[in-house]
Amino acid sequence: MTIKDVERAERTVWAETDGDVTTILLDRPAKLNALTPEMLDGLEAALRTAAASDARVVVLRGAGPKAFCVGADINRFSSLTPVAMWREWTARGHRVFDLLASLRQPTVAVVHGVAAGGGLELALACDFRIVTADARLSLPEVFLGTVPGWGGTERLTELVGRARTKQIVLAREQLDGPTASAWGLATACLAPDAAEAAVADLVDRLCAGSPIAVQLAKQLIDAAADGAPSRVLETIAGGLTAATEDLAEGVRAFHERRAPHFHGR
């Protein structure tokens, strides 16, 4: 196992790789993992490292028992000029969160405690969200006199629909874990002592598939959600998988009645 302190994050973002899994940790628990510009830069560096690696799954966590992430550090953005807010804050967050959303590897957010504002938006940029039953999820920005700024209105609407997004954003509805699961925001909701087993099971299932096929399938699903025609992209992607060693291994394993051993080639 290797642990690397991500550059420019001042030890508040860590990336850890163990086998096929890269874990990224927001490590500012005294401030409930509130995001600073330096943390966004550190997160971006960690994501770019993961994108260039052979990792099959990326897991995102928040340090400390109280919060996954409470969002943007108010003290850092409240004094910005309008131009600085646009150039240095909102645009930077969109760039980093879009990078997370577009990673070729599946991504899993492990959400406990508070996930508010940009913290919830960060989880929304992941493919899967394992949420503890005692989690509290919200987008409370209008109570500060602003609006969600890092993709929350778009990604939340995709998951729960327009009416429920308005309930969360305009009426500041705070969701607990079971409600988040019932509304389709959470992939799974579990008691805190059961969440880690669920994360491990999900990661194992994601790693068991051919990494090429899993990553292509993720891109196909995202493209279809954006309106791209599956009849074109699935044909191209299927042709690509036909040339891989993974497909040959999958067919052999099927005939030999055993689990396949994929190598991403």
Question: Helices 162-169 and 152-160 meet at what angle, rounded to 10?
Answer: 130
Of residues 78 and 16, the one with the higher pLDDT is: 16
Tens digit of pLDDT for each residue in 54-93? 999 999 999 999 999 999 887 776 676 777 777 777 889 9
Question: What residues contact residue 185 under an 8 Å CB cut-off, 6+ apart?
Answer: 124, 129, 131, 137, 156, 159, 160, 175
The pTM score is 0.89
Please, are residues 219 and 230 in contact by the beta-carbon 8 Å criterion?
no
Q: Is 121 considered catalytic here?
A: yes
180-218 pLDDT, tens per residue? 999 999 999 999 999 999 999 999 999 999 998 888 888
128 is written with which tokens? Answer: 């899967």
Q: If pLDDT is split at 50, 70 and 90, which confidence band does 176 have?
A: very high
Torsion-angle region of 86 (φ positive above 0: left; ψ -120 to 50: alpha; else: beta): alpha
Let me know if residue 43 belongs to a domain.
yes
Strand partners, 110: 130
- Residues 105 and 133 grouped into a single domain: yes
For residue 39, the enclosing domain spans: 2-207
Rounded mean pLDDT of 222-229? 84
**Domain match, 233 and 165 both:** no
Cα distance between residue 71 and residue 96, in whole Å: 14
Dist CA 77 CA 94 (whole Å)? 15
Token code pair at residue 174: 């705070």
pLDDT at res. 108: 98
Residue 56 and residue 217: Cα distance in Å, rounded?
13
pLDDT at 254: 76
Indicate if 249 and 118 belong to the same structural domain: no
For residues 116 and 230, state if they share a domain.
no
Give me the residue label for tokens 């999958």: 250
Instruction: Give a yes or no: residue 164 inside a domain.
Output: yes
190 and 139 belong to one structural domain: yes
The one-letter code for the residue type at 236 is I
Same domain? For 71 and 196 the reply is yes
Residues 18 and 52 in one domain: yes
pLDDT confidence band for 240 (50 / 70 / 90): confident
Active-site residue, from 10, 16, 44, 141: 141
Verify whether residue 173 is a known catalytic residue: no
Identify whether 265 is part of a domain.
no
Please tell me the total count of domains within the chain: 2
Q: Is the pLDDT of residue 250 over 90?
A: no
Q: Cα(123)–Cα(97) distance, rounded to whole angstroms?
A: 9
The residue from 207, 229, 244 where one domain ends is 207
Do 161 and 214 lie in one domain? The reply is no
Q: Are residues 57 and 156 in the same domain?
A: yes
Q: What is the pLDDT of residues 90-143, one digit of tens each?
A: 889 999 999 999 999 999 999 999 999 999 999 999 999 999 999 999 999 999
pLDDT at 1: 37
Identify the domain boundary among 175, 190, 207.
Answer: 207
Residue 96 sits at φ, ψ, to 5 deg, of: -70, -45
Mark whether 175 and 219 lie in a shared domain. Answer: no
Query: Residues 136, 179, 173, 187: is their CA dihedral positive or negative?
Result: positive
Asked whether the beta carbons of 21 and 201 are under 8 A apart, the reply is no
Q: How far is it, in rounded angstroms, from Cα 102 to Cα 127? A: 10
96 and 121 belong to one structural domain: yes
Shared domain check, 252 and 159? no
Confidence of residue 10 (pLDDT cuts 50, 70, 90): low
Per-residue DSSP letters for 35-61?
Answer: B-HHHHHHHHHHHHHHHTS--SEEEEE
Is 262 inside any structural domain?
no
Q: For residues 44 and 34, give the distance between their C-alpha atoms in angstroms, rounded to a whole number.
A: 16
The answer to the question of residue 177 being in a domain is yes
Using CA atoms of 84, 90, 93, 95 in order, give the dihedral in degrees to the nearest 10.
-90
> Which of 171, 187, 207 is where one domain is finished?
207
Q: Is 261 domain-assigned?
A: no
CATH of the domain at 90: 3.90.226.10
User: What pLDDT is stored for residue 45 in this prediction?
Assistant: 95
- In this prediction, residues 40-53 reach a mean pLDDT of 95
Catalytic residue (one of 44, 88, 121, 158) = 121
Q: How far is it, in rounded angstroms, from Cα 148 to Cα 192?
A: 28
Q: What is the pLDDT of residue 6?
A: 44
Query: Within a domain: residue 264?
Result: no
Question: Does 263 reside within a domain?
Answer: no
